[in-house]
A = this chain, B = another copy of it.
Amino acid sequence: MKIVQCVPNFSEGRDRAVIEAVVAPLKDKEGFKLVGYEPDASYNRTVVTLLGNPEEMIGPLLSFVGKAAELIDLNRHKGEHPRMGAVDVIPFVPIKNIKMAECAAFARELGEKIASGFQIPVFLYEEAAADPSRQNLADIRRGEFEGMREKIKKPEWRPDFGPAEIHPTAGAVAVGARAPLIAYNINLSTADIGIAKAIAKAVRHSGGGFRYVKAGAAKIEGRDIVQVTMNLTDYRKTAVYRVFEAVKTEAKRYGVAVLGSEIVGMLPLEAALDSLAYYLGLESLPAGKILETHLLEK
């Protein structure tokens, strides 16, 4: 059986009733599992994780997009995370018995149906992008919901599917295919967003940092601290522990401490074990050393 991970992000992270209603169409379905959903109040955004057969996901994902478009109005939305749509982004990640190209095909199929079903413009991104200029999600989303109103009318930002104007309340959505990534945030003992920005710049690829790190800065709602918020886009080459230690090292420049960190969504076992092996000085810690991997086989 083909297995993908699908990680839709939608723009509500505070109103529990709305979050539950939007997620409901993804619950208890045949062929895939709703692994979890994690609302973030500061971001005012929820990350959903599905795992299973992508063919079975398409229908429920359409209901999910429809419910989000019905209940979320981007004109009234504020949060620490950049966003352009009620459902903001839907990536498909190949996990087992499936190639990236097939994931891109599922992204196109879903994108086309979202556009025709809800008149929401769809941008295909990363491995599903029709053009290299559309690969980087940050480029597509730059300007966010508010800026997209004009941006989408430019010929170079014509959406891949749907009208060349944003949905009045649900904005636009990016649908794509990509390699597994780790969403990883590190909290700092300061309220100074400038320090988080400087550290983010130091560790991210575009600022001279690690090859597979994208990073930004965000405030933490109600805690009076800031965080470096990151995507680790290839954990085999840029390890979690290395990024954590680098942020600790940078933080010292500012007399700031690292309070802790958090994984948003799922962490691949290999990434967890690699970092643990580093800290315990183990030569290696292959998945086969973990009892449960044998228990659950076959």
Contacts and interface: CB of A to CB of B under 8 A. Distances in A.
Contacts of A296: 293, 296-297
A28 to B, nearest CB: 14
B266 A275 contact: no
A292 B269 contact: yes
A263 B289 contact: yes
A295 B51 contact: yes
A282 B272 CA distance: 12
A222 to B, nearest CB: 16
Contacts of A261: 280-282
B292 A268 contact: yes
B294 A282 contact: no
A290 B269 contact: yes
Given A276-B276, A296-B296, 14 more contacts: A35-B294, A51-B291, A244-B280, A263-B289, A266-B289, A266-B294, A267-B289, A267-B291, A269-B290, A269-B291, A276-B279, A292-B293, A293-B296, A296-B297
Contacts of A263: 282, 285, 289
Contact of A285 (B35, B241, B267, B295): B267
A117 interface: no
A282 B269 contact: no
Contacts of A211: none
Interface string A5-37: 100000000000000000000000000010110
Q: How many copies does the complex hold?
A: 2
A236 to B, nearest CB: 14
B272 A272 contact: yes
7 contacts: A35-B288, A259-B281, A260-B280, A260-B281, A275-B280, A276-B276, A293-B296
Contact of A262 (B35, B262, B282, B291): B282
Nearest to A268: B291
A291 to B, nearest CB: 4
Contacts of A153: none
Nearest to A279: B279
A60 B282 CA distance: 33
Contacts of A131: none
